[in-house]
Amino acid sequence: MAAVIALLCGLLFGIGLLLAGMADPTKVLGFLDLAGAWDPSLALVMVGAIGAAFLPFTWARRQTRNLLGGAMQLPKARDLDRRLIVGSLVFGMGWGVAGICPGPALVGLGAGYWQAGLFVAAMLVGMGVFQKLQGGK
């Protein structure tokens, strides 16, 4: 049952990304182009997403079990360490260059965006390199 719910949630999320235009690299790059022809529409999507998530996350923080009965798993770490900062910078640079990040890349792959296929391949290579550098952890 949990797998079906996860699939439905992922499907809903993917449809939302497609409808919002977040799986379209040109739309994302237009949003990130603050010095050029800036397209602020994705900012509205983000504000809407934050607003829609606020109450459920507030509720979830007070719970010990999720709706399916499993343990509530929310991040506990609050440290800003070197790995987080470097990873964020690399992620941001990749997003700025390609206009794609991992979630929308998978959606874009399913929607037939060739750029998403290239991005996913590069992402998998990067994940493999990271695993090697971490000693297979």
| 50 assigned to some structural domain | no
Which pLDDT belongs to residue 55?
Answer: 93
pLDDT attached to residue 136: 63
DSSP state of 63: -
- 9-33 average pLDDT score: 86
Report how far apart, in Å, the C-alpha atoms of 68 and of each of 2, 9, 19, 60 are.
Answer: 7, 13, 28, 13
Sign of CA dihedral 88, 10, 26, 98: positive
71 inside domain: no
Total domains in the chain come to 1
67: in domain:
no
Look up the domain containing 91 and give its range.
2-41+81-133
- The pLDDT value recorded for residue 51 is 92
Rounded distance between C-alpha atoms, residue 17 and residue 108, angstroms: 9
State the chain's mean pLDDT as an integer: 87
pLDDT at 137: 60
In a domain, 69, yes or no: no
pTM score: 0.69
Asked if residue 54 is part of any domain, the answer here is no
Specify if 46 maps to a domain.
no
**pLDDT tens digits for range 32-73:** 888 988 889 888 988 998 999 999 999 998 999 988 888 988
What does the alpha-carbon distance between residue 126 and residue 137 come to, in Å, rounded to a whole number? 15
For residue 80, pLDDT beyond 80: yes
Residue 74 lies inside a defined structural domain of this protein: no
